[in-house]
Structure formats: structure tokens, C-alpha cells
Structure 1
Amino acid sequence: MRRAVLLILVVLAGLVALLAPAFPALTRYGALPHKADGPVTVLLAGVDVDYDDKSGMWPWPAKPEQYDQRTDTIVLAQVRPDGTANLLSIPRDTWVNLPGWGWSKINAANPHGGPELLVRSVEDLTGIRVDAYSLLSLNALRALTEAAGGVTLDVPQRMKYDDNAGKLHIDLQPGRQHLSGQQAEGFLRFRHDGMGDIGRVARQQTYLTALVGQIKSPLNWWRLPAMVGALDQNTKSNLTRQEVGALLGAALGGVKVNMHTVPGSFGGGGTWLPDRAALRALVAENFRDPNDPRALTVAVVNLAAPDGSARRLRTRLEELGYQDVRIAEEPRTDGVPTTVSGAAAASVLRDVGHGEVTRQGGVPGADVTVRLGSDTPAN
């Protein structure tokens, strides 16, 4: 009996030790898996390190992570209830119009306006609504890879580069090999292959494919708690428990990953100029939710909002991918709030950004009617 009790205690101690790295994440995000009504779209972005060049030390030490630097990696991940995960890699040098700042590379969005501006910029570029974001520190990649036991992939060419200030030392031979966390970091950060950021995007996709394969193997499931802990310690996110539960529910059926890249061409100053027509076609084919309200006809009426509000909302909705937004006329009514009525009104309301759902009749010929009231912001 004593031996049996001792054995049980040893097993329990082992389980606690195995699960311990994931406890903080479970406390923050713990949720039961469930099948969501639609896809969950998460913006993943790796943030550059901010080095202290005034420290008097060499190499410069990293400052405490604030997640406010440029984004080195940007991937939009849409996970559907059936486990299909569509990933869209956005080159960090993609040339976009940052809301409120003007034209710039998209990796400047986070320093200018934090993850909120980055999310808005990605939504404007792709027309895909983002549900949540996760910013990852540079150390997240190394820690995650180590927790996964490394990754096995094909290194396409000789990679040799040293950056003392950035503490980056890359020395990889071509061929299939098992990479440690430090080696995987070098594999992903290498840029001297004549393809610049686009070459890095291709390697990001190679790495993600290898990592997903590592995770899906039953032989590695015991590593999952350590991987969850590695991410939690190196991530800033606004994911909710509800969204985490939906992601877990999708994963239970087996994850099927499809990878895509924003189409485009090289421009001046090392920029990537997106081919917006090709991007719209890519999004329509791979990222459109069958229940997406953006295929519906939306009528916008200005009842009590500042002049020009209906036009501004139409432009905003069209930037988000709405295909048929019309401005309609009704008599002005002072003091009324903004309302949204019709099919998928709740979903459209999220894109409008203010107001309430109502059962009021809509404009003839429209699936959804948005009546802008006095609570509409002037800008």
C-alpha cells in the first residue's frame, strides 16, 4: 500500500511539474473548448528588440520589453471551426497608408499607435476583420522552439552573418537539419539572400510548417505545457477566454494549415507594393466566411450625425471589404442614437463601431440599414 501511494505521489508530482509552465496561461486564458459560430482571426506580430545604446556596455543590452517597437513578422491567422487555419504573411516592408499617419511601411504602425493601429492598418489592407492580436517578443521564437524540442526543416542555402550590436550570429549550412531555438532565430532573421523581406516570409512559412508538424505529432504532446508557458511569458495579447475556447475547439478536430502571402512587387526604398486586386481575389477565395455580412447590401442613412458621416462610413466599410454600401436619404431627426437593423445587424454593428441593434424596418432593397445618430463621432 505504501509503495502504491508513493508511486501515485510521484506520478502526481511529475504531472504538476509537467503542467507548471502552463499554469499562468491557464489562469489568464483557461476556457473549455467549444465550437464557434464562425472563424476567429488573430493578428500575430513579432516585435523588434529595443537595445540600450546609452548603457556604456557592448554589445548593447536589451531594454525591458515594452512591445512598442517595429514589427519584424506579421501573420494574419484565421482559424475556422472545422480546424482549417488560413495564414496570410504580410511582409513588414509592405507600403500602406497608416490611418492618421500617412504612407509608410506597415512595420511602423506599432511604434506610432500600438497594436490598435497595427490592427487597423491590417484590416484596411486586407479587408479582413481582426478579432484579437498577439505581440510576441523576439525571445518568444527561441523559447517556443526550445520548448518544442527544436524543429527539423530544409535550410535552402548557406547562411552566414554576424551582427554584434544585435547579438545575431548566423552560421547554417544548406540541407535538412534539426535546428535549436538560436539556430531557428537565425534562420528566420537572415536577410542577405537577394530577396530581402520576401525571402524572410518564405522562411517564416517553412518554419511554421515544421513547427505545426512538431506539435501535431502525438510523441510531442507532452511538450505542449512548456510551449504554452514559453508563449505566455513572451507575449502581449488581448485574446479573450471565449476566443481561446473557440481556438481550442477548432484544434480538437485536427488543424489543417494553408499559407499565403500578400501578392505584390518590389518598390523603391526596399518597400513591398501590394497588388490590391490580386489581394482582394486571394482574400475572397481563402478568407471569406460564408456568413460574412460584407456580401450583403448595406444602406447608410444620416439622421442626426455630423455632415459627411454617411460618406465617411461608406468609405470605411468599403475599405473593410463591404461590396455594396449605399447612401440613402430619410428626414433628419435630432437627438436619436445610431441604430443598425436587418440581417447580420450585430456583425455590421461591430464594424460601424457604435450604436445598437434594433428591429426597425430597413431601407427598401437593403439587407442591413445603418441609421447614424447624434452619437456619431465627428471624424
Structure 2
Amino acid sequence: MRRAALVLLTVLAGLVALAAPAFPALSRYGALPRVADGPVNVLLAGVDVDYDDAAAVWPYPPKPEAYDQRTDTLMLAQVRPDGAVKLLSIPRDTWVNIPGYRWSKINAANPQGGPELLVRTVQELTGLRVDAHVLLSLGALRALTEAAGGVTLDVPGRMKYDDNAGHLHIDLQPGRQHLSGEQVEGFLRFRHDNLGDIGRVARQQAFLTAMTNRMTNPLNWWRLPGMVGALHQNTRSDLTRDEVGALLGAALHGPRISTYTVPGDFGGPTWVPDRAALSALIAEHFRDPNDPRGLRVAVLNVGAPDGSARQLREQLLTLGYQNVWVADAPRADVGTTVSGAAAEQVLRDVGHGQLSRDAGAPGADVTVRLGTDTPAP
């Protein structure tokens, strides 16, 4: 009996040791898998290192990670309840209008206004609401790869580059091979080919697909606590337990990954998005058919303070609605009503009022009539 107890205690100690790296993440994000009502959109952003140029040594050492530098990698991941995962890569040099700032490369949004401004910029670019963000330090994917025991990838060509200031040394031969964490970092950061940042985007997508396959392989499940711990130590996120539960529920059905890139073309040192092609891509692959933000919404001011209709239009556009317009209507002493398809869901985004069966405005799927109960702008 004592020998059996000793064996049992040894096994339990081993399991605890294996699971220990995941304990901090579990205490922060621990949740049971659940079936979500719809897709969860998570923005993944790899953040550059800030080096201490006042240090007395060379190469300059990195400062403590504050997650406030430019974004080197940007992906919008849509995770659906059935396990389908759609990844939209946004090149770091994408030329956008950063709200309240100016036209610039999208990688400037995070240092200008943190993850909140970055999220808003991505929402305005894509028309998709971002439910949560995850900022990853430069060492996140290296640490994840080491915890996973490496990952097998196809190196498309010779990669040789040295940057002493950036602590980056890349030396990879072409061909399919099993890469260490350091090698993966070089594979993902290499930009010195004819494709530049677009080539990096393709390699990022290949890495995430390969890593997902490795994580879902039952032979590697014993590594999962270490991988979870590695990510937790190298990320900053606003994911809620409810969202984590939805992601875990989706993972039980897959995942099945599809990858896309913001369409566009090179414009000097920037990537100029093709807005029409991007809208078509979003509509075909990312728009939830049950999501009211793809509907045509008319906003009528029938009894609200002046400017209320324009303010609501801006509010809905910020939430990801694609087609919202303001129309004229006779004044009346009535409350706010919402009528038409998915009116109940739109009402939640309006924030006040009642459902109605009144006829809608011409050409609209949903009609919002702002009444006297509307707060002043």
C-alpha cells in the first residue's frame, strides 16, 4: 500500500509540475468552455522592443516591456462557435487614417493611443467590431515555440541577415525543417526579400497554422501548460473569462483555420489597401449573417435634439455598422422606436427606445426614429 501511495504521489507531483506554468493564466482567465452566441473577434498585435539608448553597453539592452511601441505584427482573428477560425493579416505598413491623429502607417496607432486607439483604427479599416485584444511581446512566439518543442515549417528561401543593434541574427537554409524558438523568430521577422512585409505576413500565417496543428495533436497535450504559461508571461490582454470560455468552446470543435490578407498594393514604403476589395472580402468571409451591422440602417430625427441623428450614425459606424444614413422625417412628440429586421439587436446598440412594427424608411432594413427620450448630444 505504501509503495502504491508513493507511486500515486509521484504521479500527482509530476502532473502538478507539468501544470504549474499555467497556474497564473488560469487564475486570470480560467473558464469553462461554452457555446457562444456568435463569432468572437480578437485582435492579435506583436509589439516592437524599446531599446535603452542611454545604457553604457552596446548593443543597447531592451527596456522592461511596456507594450507601448509600434506593432510589428497585426492580425484580426475571428473565432466562430463551430470551430472555424478566420485570420485577417494587416500588414504593418498599411496606410490608414488613425482617428484623432493623422494618416499614417497602422503600426503607429499603438504608440499614439495604446490598444484602444489600435482597436478603433482596425475597426474603422475593416468594419468589424473587435471584442478583445492581445498584445504580444517580441519574445512571445519564441517562448511559445520553445514550450511546444519547436515547430516544423517550410523555409521558402535562403534567409541571412544580421542586425547587432536589434539583437537579430537570421541564418536559415531553404526547405522543410523543424525550427527552434530562435529560428522561428528569425523566420517571422525576416523582411529582406522582394516581398518585404507581405512575405512576412505569409510566413506569420504559416507559423500560426503549424503551431495550431501542433497544439491540437494529442501527443503534445502534455506541453499545453508550458505553452499557456509562456504566452501569459509575454502578453497583455483584455480578454474576459466569458470570451475565453467562448474561445475554448470553439476549440473543442476545431480549429479549422482560413487565412486572408488585407488586399492592396505597394505605394512606396506603404501598403495601400484596396477598400472595395477589402469590403467584399469582409462581406464574404467575416460577416456574421446574424449580425445586424451588415444591414442598411436609416436614422430619422422625429423628436430628438438637433444633431442626435448624426451622433447616432457616428456611434453605429464606430460599432462596425457599414451602411447607416440620416433621413428627414416630420417632427412628432413621441419616443424612440426601432423597426425592421434584427430591430431588437439594433435597439441594444442604440441604447434606448422601444421596438415597433411601423413601416421602415425606403431602402432600409432597419429604421430608427429618434424621439423625445433621446439624450442631448
- Report the secondary structure of 2:33's partner residue: coil
Task: Summarize the alignment of residues 32-71 of structure 1 with structure 2, pairs less than 5 Å apart.
Answer: 32-71=32-71
1:281 aligns with 2:280: yes
Once residues 236 and 305 of structure 2 are traced to their aligned partners in structure 1, the CA distance between those partners, rounded to angstroms, is 37
Once residues 316 and 299 of structure 1 are traced to their aligned partners in structure 2, the CA distance between those partners, rounded to angstroms, is 13
Counterpart in the other structure of 2:346 = 348
1:221 aligns with 2:225: no
Deviations 1:165-201 (A, max 9, x none): 1111111111111111111001110110021111111
Once residues 350 and 46 of structure 1 are traced to their aligned partners in structure 2, the CA distance between those partners, rounded to angstroms, is 33
Deviations 1:313-338 (A, max 9, x none): 4356457342354434353769x8x8
Once residues 248 and 309 of structure 1 are traced to their aligned partners in structure 2, the CA distance between those partners, rounded to angstroms, is 40
Residues 44, 134 of structure 1: 8 Å contact kept: yes
Task: Name whichever of 18-27 and 317-326 sits farther off.
Answer: 317-326
Candidates 345, 356, 360, aligned match of 1:364:
360
Residues 133, 237 of structure 1: 8 Å contact kept: yes
Task: Summarize the alignment of residues 161-200 of structure 1 with structure 2, pairs less than 5 Å apart.
Answer: 161-200=161-200
Deviation of 1:344 after TM superposition, in Å, equals 3.9
Distance verdict in 2 for CA 1:80–1:368, change over 3 Å = farther
Residues 155, 176 of structure 2: 8 Å contact kept: yes
Once residues 357 and 71 of structure 1 are traced to their aligned partners in structure 2, the CA distance between those partners, rounded to angstroms, is 40
Distance verdict in 2 for CA 1:345–1:165, change over 3 Å = farther
Counterpart in the other structure of 2:299 = 300
Task: Summarize the alignment of residues 37-186 of structure 1 with structure 2, pairs less than 5 Å apart.
Answer: 37-186=37-186
Equivalent pairs counted in the alignment come to 372
What residue identity is the alignment partner of 2:368?
T
Deviation of 1:64 after TM superposition, in Å, equals 1.0
Deviations 1:46-93 (A, max 9, x none): 000111101122111111111111000000000000000000000010
- Report the secondary structure of 1:60's partner residue: coil
Once residues 340 and 110 of structure 1 are traced to their aligned partners in structure 2, the CA distance between those partners, rounded to angstroms, is 36
Distance verdict in 2 for CA 1:29–1:74, change over 3 Å = same
Once residues 17 and 255 of structure 1 are traced to their aligned partners in structure 2, the CA distance between those partners, rounded to angstroms, is 28
Once residues 123 and 69 of structure 2 are traced to their aligned partners in structure 1, the CA distance between those partners, rounded to angstroms, is 20
Once residues 218 and 183 of structure 2 are traced to their aligned partners in structure 1, the CA distance between those partners, rounded to angstroms, is 24
Distance verdict in 2 for CA 1:376–1:363, change over 3 Å = farther
What residue identity is the alignment partner of 2:298?
A
Once residues 350 and 58 of structure 1 are traced to their aligned partners in structure 2, the CA distance between those partners, rounded to angstroms, is 56
What residue identity is the alignment partner of 2:288?
D
- Report the secondary structure of 2:182's partner residue: helix
Residues 29, 240 of structure 1: 8 Å contact kept: yes
Counterpart in the other structure of 1:5 = 5
Distance verdict in 2 for CA 1:256–1:370, change over 3 Å = farther
Deviation of 1:301 after TM superposition, in Å, equals 3.3
Once residues 131 and 234 of structure 2 are traced to their aligned partners in structure 1, the CA distance between those partners, rounded to angstroms, is 20
- Report the secondary structure of 2:139's partner residue: helix
Deviation of 1:113 after TM superposition, in Å, equals 0.7
Residues 265, 271 of structure 2: 8 Å contact kept: yes
Deviation of 1:367 after TM superposition, in Å, equals 2.7
Deviation of 1:361 after TM superposition, in Å, equals 5.8
Counterpart in the other structure of 2:31 = 31
Deviation of 1:340 after TM superposition, in Å, equals 5.8
Deviation of 1:362 after TM superposition, in Å, equals 5.6
Residues 346, 357 of structure 1: 8 Å contact kept: no
Residues 287, 294 of structure 2: 8 Å contact kept: no
Any unmatched runs of 5+ in structure 1? Answer: none
Deviations 1:222-277 (A, max 9, x none): 11111111111111111111111011001101210000000000002x10000011
Residues 79, 250 of structure 2: 8 Å contact kept: yes
- Report the secondary structure of 2:58's partner residue: coil
Counterpart in the other structure of 1:252 = 252
Task: State the identity %.
Answer: 69
Deviations 1:19-45 (A, max 9, x none): 111111111111111111100110000
Any unmatched runs of 5+ in structure 2? Answer: none
Deviation of 1:302 after TM superposition, in Å, equals 3.7
